[in-house]
Amino acid sequence: MNIKSLLLGSAAALAVVSGAQAADAVVAAEPEPMEYVKVCDAYGTGYFYIPGTETCLKVGGRVRVDMQAADSYTAGSAHGWRNRSRAELYMDSASDTEYGALKTNFVARWDFDGTYNDGAHTNPVLIAANISIAGLLAGQADSQYSSFIGYAGDIINDDVISYGGFEINQLTYTYDSGAGLKIMGSLEDDRKTFDGEDGPRSTNLGASIYKNGRDYLPNLVGGVSYDAGGFGFIVVGGYDDSEKEGAVKARVNATFGSVTAFVMGAWSSSGNDRNAFAPGDTYNAWGDWAAWAGIGAKFSDTLAGNLQVAGTDNDTLAVAANLKWYPVSGLLVMPEVTYTSWDKTHFDRTNAAGATTRVNTGDKDQWNGMLRLERTF
């Protein structure tokens, strides 16, 4: 057999074998199409497209543990360490429309203070639930009297002398010029207002007793702000419909490199009576005025510190200082020290016949040291 015949025979044999294998080959099924989550960066970090929609969603939250020696808001409260654990869940959505971004904001909170173990005291609390579009916000959010002006300093116990309300239903419109100027007007639920017929009242713990509004008129809030980068000025006012009283606050912010500072002052039309926009402190109304001032400094990429001082016409003084340390990304370790003094503290005592008398206990003060651990995600 010559070489040519051998090559032809081998080729024929290979063709037969290949044909047999082709007949018996297993054909793999085409993979099912998969839709991966896509990043949505139009509204900030953390948003992603909900698969099959044009809506962007952001999910986050935080877990917090507080350990403190006393209560900065209450005199004579240094009775040993007090602990509290908190969990919060955030969900924000955003989508583009012909009127601008349509957004929702949702925040739920669970607190546990270690006193109870039956589970009944860790029920969720709705902190925010609102819809916003084209400058209009409707639903539950912090009162614009507090949030529009920027709250107070970057400390834990910033409202020992309270500067306004927080979670409340509202209908708010904010005009943003895009060049630093904002103008805000808000209609807010007046469910948290003081009893105007009997004057402000207190429980034995000094907590204010509130009542529902008796008519269909809401509280009114308005404000103007201007931000020029390193300098900002804000004015906000509120009118409590149930009390027929109100208050005005003004704030100046300034930034000098790694240092920030603010000064905020308020005037109350109700003087020694409280209203929704002049809440006072645990024991007393502001009087005619209240003031807050603070400074913050960033020492490095992982360490910062803050100091705040607040006072009222009725001689309440609140001082607080803290350090904010981020040992790793997302983890905050914050020790804070506070001192509060009250010119007069009081509580209401009710006898067997139902008569209530106010007991004044004179000047009091309270030191408090606390440590916060917080993981944000």
Range of the domain at 360: 33-376
The CATH number assigned to the domain holding 104 equals: 2.40.160.10
Structural domain includes residue 364: yes
Q: Mind listing the pLDDT tens digit for each residue in 153-183? A: 999 999 999 999 999 999 999 999 999 999 9
pLDDT of res. 363: 84
Higher-pLDDT residue of 313 and 15 is 313
Domains contained in the chain, number: 1
The answer as to whether 9 is a domain residue is no
Query: What is the reported pLDDT for 37?
Result: 81
Residue 238 within a domain: yes
**11 pLDDT above the threshold of 60:** no
DSSP states along 187-231: EE---SEE-TTT---B-TT-PBPEE--SSSPPEEEEEEEEE-SSE
pLDDT of residue 31: 61
- CA–CA separation, 239 vs 276, rounded Å? 8
pLDDT computed for residue 8 by the predictor:
44
How far apart, in whole angstroms, are the C-alpha atoms of residue 335 and residue 219? 37
Mean pLDDT is lowest, of 250-254, 297-301, 347-351, for 347-351
Which token pair is 112?
């546990």
Q: Across 24-28, 197-201, 239-243, 265-269, which has the greatest mean pLDDT?
A: 265-269
Residue 357 has pLDDT above 50, yes or no: yes
| Res 326 pLDDT > 60 | yes
- In this prediction, residue 345 carries a pLDDT of 73
Residue 8 lies in a domain: no
Q: Tell me: pLDDT of 3 over 60.
A: no
